[in-house]
Amino acid sequence: MEQNTFLDDDSKKVLSGYRSLLRTLHLKSSREELNALRKALEVSMDAHDKMRRRSGEPYIIHPIEVARIVVEEIGLGALSATAALLHDVVEDSHYTLEDVDRLFGERIARIVDGLTKISDVFDPDSSQQAENFRKMILTLGEDVRVIFIKLADRLHNMRTLESMPPHKQVKIASETLFIYAPIAHRLGLYNLKSEMEDLSLKYTEPEVYRDIAMKMKSIRQDEIRMLKHFTSPIKASLKKEGMAFMIKERTKSIFSIRKKMINQGVSFDEVYDKFAIRIIIDVPAEEDEKASCWKAYAAVTDFYRPNPDRLRDWISSPKSNGYESLHITVMGPNGHWVEVQIRTQRMDEEAERGLASHWKYKEDEVVSSKIDGWLSKVREILENPTLNAMEFVADFKLNLFSEEIFVFTPTGELKTLPKGSCPIDFAFEIHTDVGLSTLGAKVNGKLVPLNYKIKSGDQVEILTSAKLKPKEEWLNYVATSKARSKIRANLREERMIVADRGKEVVHRKLRALKVKMSPQVEGKLYHFLKLRDSQEMYYQAGLGLLDNQELKNFARERNSVLYQYFGRGRIRKETPDKKPSETSEAPPSPKVLVFGEDEQELDHKLSPCCHPIEGDDVFGLITPTDGIKVHRKDCPNAIAIQSRIAQRVMKARWISKEVQEFVAVVRLKGMDTKGLINRITQIISNDLNVNIRSLELSSEGGMFDGSITLLVRNKLHLQQIMEKLQKVEGIEEVDRSIQKSKP
């Protein structure tokens, strides 16, 4: 190590970090592995010589800290630590992949290659972030250690984020929340996931983070005193049973507290499980771990009343990422709810290390099928050729945060599904052919609708028919990426068949109307019909939904234009490049939005996920297939958009007051009084002369809840409608709804 490369303090940091790494590895590593580790440090120092991070510290400290996270916090061995020390070498220096292969062997070279390939996944200059993310996940099929090291790399970047400019902090934090924290969760790395989430919140919502952190600090001592008082009789009981154990206090993460406050609509003080305890039982693996955990459960509930709705038994049915634990919530002293987690030392080790705990220290092979089970689900998504990159990202993330339920087939076979799954998800879990031909379902012997939410312990039977095909509405029911991707693929195939049939219909009808079809005519026709593209036009025709009168109007207008342009008797050929008379052109659509720094008027579509209307704060998103889509700045999808495809976001603002109609959804709640619907429709349709797209109201126990989809001119117009509705007798709440869906 060249002392003149760094300042003395820097040299001490490098040496301290490397020695800490060696202390963790030396007992479980061979001399050859430790020699490779030392050689990797020397190569990395040479590659990053004189390089410094934005914080001012030598760059070499970063790969050392990444290696320490890989070993000390994820639990991998010397091979992964060696690859972590080299993870930026090929990208940042004169060293090549061939050099790494020659110096360290094929396995480490393969890992470094995977890390190099995904190093620019979230490059701000990249216009294909979704596709790059897909490439990153493809590396899972080669070596899952690539993802473990990448997570360690991201965690250290988050720990040192304060040196970055504010706009970079928000972008990197948003990316972390969007991709990396969910992957850490799915791999069972809960500590990494929680720290990533907390650090992300610190930079995306700093005031919220500081407020919760200060409140947690102010109550910490009182809560810990309460927990010690709470655990005192439990310890005595466990000792009396002759059990070896340890008890840890656990603090809920700031991010999860914030999430619970939002999801449940409660204040900080109303989040009851901010602190919890974990009972870890020391029992040999060959003995009955389950019996020991339930004995500890009995010791806890002998003193404190459990909440039956909060029992989670992941020992009898572990999560798909291997997590095993018994969770209960009991009423403790002074009316405090306390969460208690019960597990053995083996279970705790696996819970802390996630899927990484299933690797041998030598890392030569996987000692459990749990990684392979999870990777098979990933490959299932990867093997779907019909998914575009954006759909892939959505499908991959679909189940990452999902809680799991355990469901039985009619023969008693156990299936694991995400919470919120319906019978269609279960059918596709059985077999794709079963899913595609689903007719109905029985749950516990009773017929249920296909959007029924299955619960843990249900026994599900699928009824099929060879004549049936998936319906588009199924996409609103399913919760698994497998079901969603198979349904999409089948619908695309069916749509193409219908569109081909419709194309023949349109061409035949145009011939009868003396209009010769061409690419130019095709484009003018679907614009005339106000449809998205020619494929949508032919699909509508195949379904028999095209209005013949509209086709006649198009033909009449087109023939009239050609007649005026060429003169009587001279309509012989198409001249699409010629401009017809201005008097025959349809008036252009009003432009109410301008985009970018130059404030240009551009064609755009209003996104259905947040229904922006005139007056809303909005931004534009350049999409690969639909041009510019406009979102509200408070759209539920805004963080995801800005994290993964920020380079395609455009500034947008309203500048015109020309009349144009926008879709808005108004949510209503109140008392169900006689004639209520009549009064609502009277005010909207007759008094205000507003078009109603749809009206959905449901009543239960004398109260109603529902929504109305309206066509309004602007935000002020919508506000006037809402104020009128608020005055209707029986209506208690009126607010504007945002429907969370794909951007």
Average pLDDT, the chain: 79
Cα–Cα dist 647/643, whole Å: 9
d(CA 493, CA 499): 10
d(CA 423, CA 395): 19
- pLDDT the model gives residue 237: 92
In a domain, residue 483? The reply is no
> Domain range holding 318?
208-358
Instruction: Give yes or no: residues 199 and 78 share one domain.
Output: yes
Same domain, 415 and 280: no
- Distance between CA atoms of 343 and 349, rounded to whole angstroms? 10
Say yes or no: 58 and 198 in one domain.
yes
Instruction: List, in sequence order, every beta strand (DSSP E) within 435-563.
Output: 438-443, 446-448, 460-464
Domain-located, residue 22: yes
pLDDT tens-digit map of 184-194: 887 778 889 99
Q: Both 467 and 512 in a single domain?
A: no
pLDDT at 5 over 70: no
- What is the number of domains present in the chain? 6
Q: Does some domain include residue 680?
A: yes
Q: Do 579 and 445 fall into the same domain?
A: no
Decide if 171 contacts 646 (C-beta within 8 A).
Answer: yes
pLDDT band at 250 (very low <50, low <70, confident <90, very high): confident
Considering the domain architecture, whether residues 557 and 445 belong to the same structural domain is answered as: no
Q: Which residues carry out catalysis? A: 91-92
Is 67 among the domain residues?
yes
Nearest residue to 611 via CA among 665, 531, 658, 667:
665
The better pLDDT of the pair 418, 42 is held by 42
| Cβ neighbour number for residue 525 with a 10 Å cutoff | 22
Q: How confident is the model at residue 716 (pLDDT cuts 50, 70, 90)?
A: confident
What is the model's pLDDT at position 609? Answer: 83
pLDDT digits (tens, 9 = 90+) for 336-361: 788 899 999 888 887 776 665 555 43
Phi, psi angles (nearest 5°) of residue 111: -65, -45
Task: Tell me the whole-structure pTM to 2 decimals.
Answer: 0.55
CATH number at residue 689: 3.30.70.260
Residues 154 and 287 in one domain: no
Q: Which two tokens stand for residue 528?
A: 């005339």
